[in-house]
Amino acid sequence: MTMKIKKKDVAQALGFFLLRLCLGLVLFILILFLYDIIRKGAGSLTWEFLTKPPRRGMSEGGIFPAIMGTFLVTIVTALLAVPLGIAAAIYLNEYARKSRLTRLIRLSLRNLSGVPSIVFGLFGVILFVNILKFGTSILSAGLTLGLLTLPWTVTASEEALKNVPNSFREGALALGATKWQSIRTNVLPYALPGMLTGTILGLARAAGETAPIMFTGAAFYLPFLPRSLKDQFMALPYHLYIMATQHHAIETVRPLAYGTALVLIMLVLGMNMAAVIIRHRLRRKSRM
Amino acid sequence: MTIQTESRGDVRTAPQWKQRQGRQAIKESAIRAFFLSCGVLVVLVLIGIFILLVSTALPAFREINFWEFLSGKAWDPTSPEKAMYGILSMILSSFLATLGAMFIAVPIGIGVAAYLSDVANWRVREIVKPVVEVLAGIPSVVVGFLGIILFAPIIARLFHKSNGLNAVNGSFLLAIMALPTIISISEDSLNAVPRAYAEASLALGASRWQTLVRVRIPAALSGIIAAIMLGMGRAIGETMTVLMATGNARAFPHGLLDSIRTMTANIAIELGEVPYYTTHYYALFAIGLVLFVITFIVNLVADVILHKYQEREL
């Protein structure tokens, strides 16, 4: 009897050790990634690198146009994906009844989030660049990324709406408010911070995407800033791709590529971090 | 006295009040219609992607035999003698890299999920969960870059190759890309297993490990399978990592140490150079369509599995 128990305990210890090993491996890879990029990228991170355009066929100089390009395209993305996402989420959580249409919307939503990003790129080329004649531009790329981000913003906004207690809605309705009045005054204000969290996470992912913007507006090399929405632009992720694989002197521009990767990581993870902090604060608030 | 005036006031405003209510009802239904149309737009985007892909891919088949397109091994659209449009090697390459990735990501992903749901205390969970999200947040182009500079030299040395840009490298990176999906959905489904199952098992004298392996994981299996499929869908559709780390040779893949060119990478490489509205251009959209259909099916199956399992829980 005692032998049996012992065997079981050994199996458990071994099993749990294996599980810890899995987690350790994942953490190790993540830390290795971040460590390598920070160690080798920090050297190129100068003021000039952040504020000057590339020079000499991108083998010297900075990445300012790429930073600005990513910033601008993300704004276009947000302008499309955030209001639309929130509106669709309001429909799904506040208005929709259990119907075939609702099921279809949800199904489309989940499937849309699984569509490969390069397919979104192809779609952007056909719809925005060719049919709507926006050309390869910030507008086309931003709208393409907006559609890519849409399922994430809808899901996140709906999650935030779900977390608003039903008594908030009922309270307003009982006082004679209409449905929209109750949503506007009693639901949205409480859901907004949560929506913000999810939206930031979605936009951070969009800012790091490369495949959808490759053919819809990102430029290989532009030493100046775009002047209008119809201009091409440089973007951080695409710039990193160029510096890592397409440059004529890849080995000599490695430090610049590392620097670009570091800035991109800092941008994306910074946005992630902000979202996580907001969520953490919210949770603590709701616990009290 | 006051009561009288009030009631008189009410009488006077009653029609106005009704009118206002009518206007409000119109406004309310207009608002509802607006939100509904935003919801429907999501459906339209998905259908729109499909329709535009089909309509742009179709002209390719005026010159290419559809069957030869899917089963041909050679892809050489710019050949001066005879242009070849066979994507079989790309389809196989995509699946090769994805299966390699699943080989790594499935055991590790389930392991981490099980650790988080069954072993870790809440404090560890509170720290690890955001960390997994950070991993999910690393842009694919950065992962691809690290594949070139970190893993490629190691792989080259390990297998005595001139460079480490091959399917193994791609699989490794795709595993990292798919891990967060697999971890979070597997963990959700493990957490959704009714507590009574574990309690019954523990009460019968099983250890926590036995309970995990023989009761909780089997009970959550449908959710875990869905998680794996969603991770697979992500890996098949992933572009930048494979584009940067697998070498992109057009040859037919024979093993994990070969350089491969996936469907996604091929689109990314050639779409920038191809002249618009040529058969080659249309053929690239046809590859996109194949990719869309594959990921759609994978996601749909995962969705059906997840749904079935959610309904059972209710």
B251-294 per-position pLDDT tens digit: 788 878 888 899 999 999 999 888 888 889 999 999 999 999 99
Distance (Å) from the alpha carbon of B115 to chain A's nearest alpha carbon: 6
Please determine, for residue A285, whether its predicted confidence score (pLDDT) is greater than 70. no
Q: Are residues A88 and A112 in contact, defined by beta-carbon separation less than 8 angstroms? A: no
Contact A88 B24 (CB under 8 A): no
| pLDDT over 70 (residue B313) | no
pLDDT score at B310 = 59
> How confident is the model over B166-184, as a mean pLDDT?
92
Residues of chain A with Cβ-Cβ distance to B38 below 8 Å are: 84, 87-88, 91
Q: B88-114 vs A2-41: helix axis angle to the nearest 10?
A: 120
Q: Is residue A26 domain-shared with residue A77, that is, in the same domain?
A: no
Helix, strand, or coil here: A1? Answer: coil
pLDDT of A2: 54
Task: Check CB contact under 8 Å for B135 and A26.
Answer: yes
Q: Is the pLDDT reported for residue A268 higher than 80?
A: yes
**pLDDT band with cut points at 50, 70 and 90 for residue A286:** low
Q: What percent of chain B has pLDDT over 90?
A: 55
Read off the pLDDT of residues A113-132 as tens digits, 9 standing for 90 and up. 999 999 999 999 999 999 99
Pair A6, A134 in one domain? no
Own/partner contacts of B157-162, CB < 8 Å, gap of 24 or more, are: B159/B257, B161/B257
Q: What is the CATH number of the domain that holds A147?
A: 1.10.3720.10
The DSSP bridge partners found for residue B76 are B84
Q: Is the pLDDT of residue B20 over 80?
A: no
User: Residue B13: its pLDDT value, please?
Assistant: 57
Same domain, A61 and A8: no
User: Is A171 in the same domain as A278?
Assistant: yes
What percentage of chain A exceeds 70 in pLDDT? 95
Q: How confident is the model at residue B14 (pLDDT cuts 50, 70, 90)?
A: low
Q: Which among A25, A147, A240 has CB closest to B145?
A: A240
Q: Per the structure block, which two tokens stand in for A46?
A: 């100068």
The larger pLDDT score, comparing residue A16 to residue A286, is at A16
Q: Looking at the structure, do residues A262 and A197 belong to the same domain, yes or no? A: yes
| Max intra-chain CA distance, chain A | 80
What is the pLDDT averaged over residues A72-88?
Answer: 94
pLDDT averaged over every residue in chain B: 87
- B1: confidence class by pLDDT, cuts 50, 70, 90: very low
Contact between residue B274 and residue B281 where contact means Cβ atoms under 8 Å apart: yes
Tell me the per-residue pLDDT of B184-236, one tens digit each, with 9 for 90 and over.
999 999 999 999 999 999 999 899 999 999 999 999 999 999 999 999 999 99
Is residue B311 over pLDDT 60? no
pLDDT of residue A276: 78
Mean pLDDT of chain A: 88
Helix, coil or strand: residue B144: helix
Helix (H) or strand (E) holding A245: none
For residues A222 and A122, membership in a common domain is answered with yes
CB contact under 8 A, B207 and A120: no
Instruction: Find the mean pLDDT for residues B2-21.
Output: 56
Residue A105 and residue B40: Cβ atoms within 8 Å?
yes
- How close does chain A come to B37, measured CA to CA in Å? 8
Number of domains in chain A: 2
| Cα-Cα-Cα-Cα dihedral sign, residues B222, B225, B230, B231 | positive
**Could you tell me the pTM of the whole model?**
0.90
**CA gap A143, B299 in Å, rounded:** 24
For B24-54, the pLDDT digits (tens) are: 888 889 999 999 999 999 999 999 999 999 9
Q: Note whether A140 and A89 are same-domain residues.
A: yes
What is the chain A residue with the closest CA to B114? A19
State the Cα angle at A204 between A288 and A76, rounded to 5°. Answer: 115
Nearest-by-CA chain A residue for B209? A12
Looking at residue B5, its pLDDT comes to 44
Same domain? A18 vs A118: no
User: Distance (Å, rounded) from C-alpha A247 to C-alpha A57?
Assistant: 9
More confident residue, A272 or A123: A123
Residues A10 and A67 grouped into a single domain: no
- Local confidence band at A223 (pLDDT 50, 70, 90 cut-offs): confident
- Do A40 and A127 share a domain, yes or no? no
Which helix (H) or strand (E) is A165 found in, with range? none
pLDDT band at B309, cuts 50/70/90?
A: low
Q: What are the tens digits of pLDDT across the range A138-172?
A: 999 999 999 999 999 999 999 899 989 999 999 99
By C-alpha distance, the chain B residue nearest A19 is B111
Boundary of a domain, candidates A44, A61, A78:
A44
A16-20, A174-178, B159-163, B276-280: least confidently modelled range? B159-163
**Could you say which of A12, A116, A254 has the minimum Cβ distance to residue B207?**
A12
Do A102 and A238 sit in the same domain of this protein?
A: yes
Domain that holds residue A20: 2-44
The pLDDT assigned to B9 comes to 45
- Which residues share a beta bridge with B247? B260
Reported as a single tens digit per residue, the pLDDT across B93-150 is 999 999 999 999 999 999 999 999 988 888 888 888 888 888 888 999 999 999 999 9
Q: In terms of domains, do A68 and A192 share one? A: yes
- Where do the DSSP E strands lie in chain B? 75-76, 84-85
Residue A228 or A29, more confident: A29
Other Cβ atoms closer than 10 A to A117: 24
Whether the per-residue pLDDT at B179 is higher than 50: the answer is: yes
Q: In chain A, at which residue ranges do the beta strands (DSSP E only) sit? A: 54-55, 60-61
State the pLDDT at residue B2. 43
A54-55 and B84-85 beta bridge pairing:
unpaired
The total number of residues written for chain B in this structure: 314
Per residue in A22-53, pLDDT tens?
A: 999 999 999 999 999 999 888 888 888 888 77
